[in-house]
Amino acid sequence: MAVGILTSRLLLRRFAQTDLPALAHLFADTAVQEYLAVGLMGPKGARAFAETFIRASDDEWREGGCGVMAMVPRGGGDGAGNATLVGYCGLRHLPDRISAMEVVYALRQDRWGQGLATEAARAVLDWGFETLPVREIKAFTRPPHAASRRVMEKAGMEFQGETDRYYGEMLAVYSVTRPV
């Protein structure tokens, strides 16, 4: 399934194997790891996790019609026409696979504070409600992660409280329902 979502500054697309080094670099950044539920890992662990992440996303696309996408700048990224991965964003099924879907995102540290996560999240939420039979989309973050909470709010999601139901740690939960 070929999926591409264009925003004013980004292309969200399925992962390619050429994204592996940049994704591993993202996961190896300790500032990024602080807010992801991946735990601390060195470069080898980050590469292995990135490989697993891409495979899991491919599986999600194949089995569920959605998945996490590479986030790359529109119009090339490195001056040579190569669009370098700056993060990821997408939809995936929650672990119980029966309730709402989840929007996920992460950005390279040098791209924080530019509104890219909000831009991507809004586009993915719109795409999800337009193409998938989903009634509700949720997002989770560790409660002190103010920047991620702002992304969720700016994307139109509302705070629902905190729960440890899905991932075994207390997380702030945001959600949005299908527009009527």
Q: Convert the pLDDT of each residue in 78-132 to its tens digit.
A: 444 446 899 999 999 887 666 679 999 999 999 999 999 999 999 999 999 999 9
The two structure tokens encoding residue 85: 């991965």
Q: What domains does the chain contain, in order, with CATH numbers? A: 4-135 (3.40.630.30)
- The full length of the chain comes to 180
- Residue 152 is classified by DSSP as H
- Among the residue ranges 23-27, 36-40, 160-164, 168-172, the one predicted with the least confidence is 36-40
pTM here?
A: 0.90
Mean pLDDT of the chain: 88
CA nearest to 140, candidates 97, 99, 110, 169:
169
Locate tokens 């390279």: which residue?
A: 108
Helices (H), the chain: 20-28, 30-33, 43-64, 116-131, 146-154
In the chain, pLDDT over 90 holds for what percent of residues? 65
Phi first, then psi, for residue 53 (nearest 5°) are: -60, -45
